[in-house]
Amino acid sequence: MNVKTHTGSRNAGLTLSIITAIFCGIMLMPIIALLYESASSFFISDSLYSDDTFSDLADTVLWDYIKNSLTIVFGSLLFACFFAIAPAWWCAQYEFVGRRYLQWMMVFPLAIPAYISAYIYTDALDYAGPIQSSLRHLFSWQSPSDYWFIDIRSRWGASLMLGLALSPYIYLLLRNSFEQGSQSLSQAAQLMGASPRKIFWTIHLPLARPALAIGCTLVAMESLADYGTVQLFAISTLTTAIYDSWLVYGSLASAAKISCLTLLFVILLVAFEKNSRRKQQHFDSRGGKSHEKINVSKLKASFIWLFCGLVFSLGFLIPLITLMGYCLDYWLENINTDILRHSQSTFLLAVTAAFIATLLAVIFNSQQRFSPSAKNQSKLSLSSLGYAIPGTVLAIGILIPLGQLDIWINQFIQWLGFDKVGLILSGTSFALILAFVIRFSAISNGSIQAAYKQMPNNLDAASTMLKASRFKTFYKIHLPIMRPALMSAFLLVFIECVKELPASLLLRPFDFETLATYVYQFASDEQLEHAASGALLIITVSLLPILLLSRTQRMR
């Protein structure tokens, strides 16, 4: 009997091993497909590949696309740092009236997708928009030639929109880092005669540098991957080029090549990020008591509120109020069955993807927990790879193999003597769910991994010593303890799926919309007013994790 139970658990282990190995293969598939697709057209001069879209692009506008992409990444970083660093320092270091509210208000811009702000500010700053109209009225200007006005539909405008929406990443990481800085360090510096200014530059900032670097990489990756904002502003970047190559020119090969080019930049960013994270771990072990916040004068507090209030208004309040205004003005268009239908299908899709991603995260992490090995660890890291891949790139990487599979399936079915079944993989929600799972598994993995890290290994050993099998340990000990982590993993992936735009645009089945693509279609048709309720729904859903985060942090 003893032997039997032993082989039983070994069989289960083997099954899990195979499942995780297969999923790792699926994770890698898009990247391999992209490399294969771009390489094969280099080496095979088959008529099938006599597609010179890419070389045309390379000869003419590709360099401009790269330049635009990099300018926007750089610009977004500048704006995000400007909006985030000072508030992070103030909220971590000082005590003033309403700080508890302000420190969470600074995270709210994260809930507004950049393309929605972009639309709203374009509308407001337009020639016919309220600001220019009232200026003309005030100074009795007659035509555009009478005055200069900022053009929001530019690379810097796009950077501003992205910087506003992404600055909370830097803000959150930096504030955490500043708050963890142990008080004894700054007190030691103070006793050695350093001024507060010197302490900031020589102690706090250097210790927070890894956090700043990680925040910046996140912002850079997100702005590199952005599709909605730049497309709305008609700026050609690498992501729009991928999109157009496929949907306008119908060239999968050139889409694959531009994707590979984009991946190159991503790899550089990821390497930088990994390096910074290693340093952060080093700095994080400093321990010690955390800061007591310093009271500031009324004047300084007012200045802090002024600056942070401005960022909050620009990044959250103005877009939100405008959308509400749209909703009221066009309430008839905003309450229709379309929105209801699309919300339903989006939620169903997101629930499915979130469920699968959470389940996979549990499988991968529990496998590493029960039989820790380098192999299982690398599987785990591999399963988190997707987050770095921009949505457009991932979509192309999924279309290539699924399209080929569909061709084979149809040939096989015809060979069996049945009618063609059509694009059952690449033309259905399957592709979309696959993309979501690959892209957002990193989030669920992170959540479950953190839960396991906090769970002492001795609990497992204690369970074993009390004669529990692995399954019992997992079911009775692991699962109940990590229930909050399971919830947050599910919720976070769900929200990301609802918000996701570029991959959804490329992969959604014919005549199918997610909330994001629905709202975006209206925005790009200059009719966001008619889909404002959809946008508000996305924003509401996006606010959930922020509220959740603020609650758990307050409890701590």
Partner 1 sequence: MNSESFSQKKATALELLNIQLAIADQPILQDLTFDLEEGEILCLLGPSGCGKTTALKTIAGLATPQQGQIDLFGSTVFSETRLNLPAEQRSIGFIFQDYALFPHMTVGQNIAYGLSFLNKQDKQQRIKESLELVELPDIEHRYPHELSGGQQQRVAVARALAPKPKLLLMDEPFSNIDGQVKRRMMADLRRLLKEHDISCIFVTHAKEEAFAFADKTAVMIHGQIEQLDSPANVFNQPKTVAVAEFMESGNLATLKHSQQVLDAVSHQWPRDIDNSGYWLFKPQHITLRHSLQSTGIELIDSTYIGRGYQHEIAIRLNKSNDAPSITWKAETESPIDIPIGDNLALEYVSEPHWLQC
Q: Tell me: does residue 459 bind partner 1 (CB under 8 A).
A: yes
Q: How far is the CB of 3 from partner 1 (least distance, A)?
A: 10
Q: Pick from 462, 487, 540, 547 the residue near partner 1 by CB under 8 A.
A: 462
Q: Are 229 and 211 in contact (CB under 8 A)?
A: no
Query: Judged by CB, which is closer to partner 1: 264, or 466?
Result: 466
Q: How far is the CB of 473 from partner 1 (least distance, A)?
A: 9
Q: Pick from 476, 487, 526, 553 the residue near partner 1 by CB under 8 A.
A: 476
Of 235-243, 333-341, 420-428, 477-485, the segment contacting partner 1 by CB under 8 A is 477-485
- Residue type at position 355: F
Which H/E stretch holds residue 189?
helix 183-191
Q: If we measure between CA atoms, which residue out of 441, 352, 472 comes closest to residue 12?
A: 472
Q: Pick from 464, 540, 552, 553 the residue near partner 1 by CB under 8 A.
A: 464
Of 43-51, 72-80, 180-188, 462-470, the segment contacting partner 1 by CB under 8 A is 462-470
Q: Tell me how far apart the alpha carbons of residues 327 and 554 are, in angstroms, rounded to a whole number.
A: 34
Query: Judged by CB, which is closer to partner 1: 12, or 459?
Result: 459
Q: Tell me how far apart the alpha carbons of residues 20 and 548 are, in angstroms, rounded to a whole number.
A: 31
Kindly state the tokens that stand for 405: 């599979």
Q: Pick from 97, 328, 348, 461 the residue near partner 1 by CB under 8 A.
A: 461
What is 95-151 written as a DSSP string?
E-TTHHHHHHHTTGGGGS-HHHHHHHHHHHHSTTSHHHHHHHHHHT--SGGGS----
Q: Are 385 and 439 in contact (CB under 8 A)?
A: no
Q: How far is the CB of 478 from partner 1 (least distance, A)?
A: 10
Q: Tell me how far apart the alpha carbons of residues 460 and 376 are, in angstroms, rounded to a whole number.
A: 18
Q: Tell me: does residue 286 bind partner 1 (CB under 8 A).
A: no
Q: Pick from 125, 468, 544, 548 the residue near partner 1 by CB under 8 A.
A: 468
Of 27-35, 62-70, 153-161, 467-475, the segment contacting partner 1 by CB under 8 A is 467-475
Q: Tell me: does residue 469 bind partner 1 (CB under 8 A).
A: yes
Q: How far is the CB of 225 from partner 1 (least distance, A)?
A: 39
Strand (E) positions, 174-293?
none
Q: How far is the CB of 445 from partner 1 (least distance, A)?
A: 23
Q: Are 312 and 109 in contact (CB under 8 A)?
A: yes
Q: Are 301 and 96 in contact (CB under 8 A)?
A: yes
Q: Tell me how far apart the alpha carbons of residues 155 and 534 are, in angstroms, rounded to a whole number.
A: 27
Query: Judged by CB, which is closer to partner 1: 417, or 456?
Result: 456
Q: Tell me: does residue 527 bind partner 1 (CB under 8 A).
A: no
Q: Which residues contact 503 (CB under 8 A, 6 or more apart)?
A: 391, 392, 394, 395, 432, 435, 436, 439
Q: Which residues contact 497 (CB under 8 A, 6 or more apart)?
A: 346, 349, 350, 353, 354, 436, 440
Q: Tell me how far apart the alpha carbons of residues 267 and 273 are, in angstroms, rounded to a whole number.
A: 10
Q: Pick from 138, 306, 466, 555 the residue near partner 1 by CB under 8 A.
A: 466
Site string for partner 1, 478-507 (x = CB under 8 A): --xx--------------------------
Q: Which residue has the tokens 């599979």?
A: 405
Of 181-189, 225-233, 475-483, 498-506, the segment contacting partner 1 by CB under 8 A is 475-483
Q: Tell me: does residue 10 bind partner 1 (CB under 8 A).
A: no
Backbone angles phi, psi at 496, to 5 degrees: -60, -40
Q: Tell me: does residue 298 bind partner 1 (CB under 8 A).
A: no
Q: Which residue has the tokens 């508000």?
A: 536
Query: Judged by CB, which is closer to partner 1: 1, or 191?
Result: 1
Q: Which residues contact 6 (CB under 8 A, 6 or more apart)?
A: none
Q: How far is the CB of 551 from partner 1 (least distance, A)?
A: 20
Q: Pick from 467, 510, 511, 556 the residue near partner 1 by CB under 8 A.
A: 467
Q: Tell me: does residue 22 bind partner 1 (CB under 8 A).
A: no
| CA–centroid distance for 387 within its chain | 7
Subset of 408-447 contacting partner 1 (CB under 8 A) = none
Q: Tell me: does residue 14 bind partner 1 (CB under 8 A).
A: no
Q: Tell me: does residue 194 bind partner 1 (CB under 8 A).
A: no
Q: Which residues of 504-516 are buried (b: 16+ CB within 10 A; e: fewer)?
A: bbbbbeeebbbbb
Of 266-274, 283-291, 363-371, 463-471, the segment contacting partner 1 by CB under 8 A is 463-471
Q: Which residue has the tokens 């690959």?
A: 438
Q: Tell me: does residue 6 bind partner 1 (CB under 8 A).
A: yes
Which H/E stretch holds residue 302?
helix 298-312
Q: How far is the CB of 493 from partner 1 (least distance, A)?
A: 24
Q: How far is the CB of 357 from partner 1 (least distance, A)?
A: 24
Query: Judged by CB, which is closer to partner 1: 9, or 55?
Result: 9
**Number of shown-chain residues binding partner 1 (CB under 8 A):** 18
Q: Tell me: does residue 458 bind partner 1 (CB under 8 A).
A: yes
CA atoms within 13 A on the CB side of 181: 28
Query: Judged by CB, which is closer to partner 1: 78, or 450?
Result: 450
Question: What are the beta bridge partners of residue 94?
Answer: 294
Q: Tell me: does residue 477 bind partner 1 (CB under 8 A).
A: yes
Of 58-66, 412-420, 458-466, 496-504, the segment contacting partner 1 by CB under 8 A is 458-466
Residues constituting the chain: 556
Q: Tell me: does residue 299 bind partner 1 (CB under 8 A).
A: no
Q: Tell me: does residue 456 bind partner 1 (CB under 8 A).
A: yes
Kindly state the tokens that stand for 437: 């799972």
The site for partner 1 (CB under 8 A) is made up of 2, 6, 456, 458-459, 461-469, 476-477, 480-481
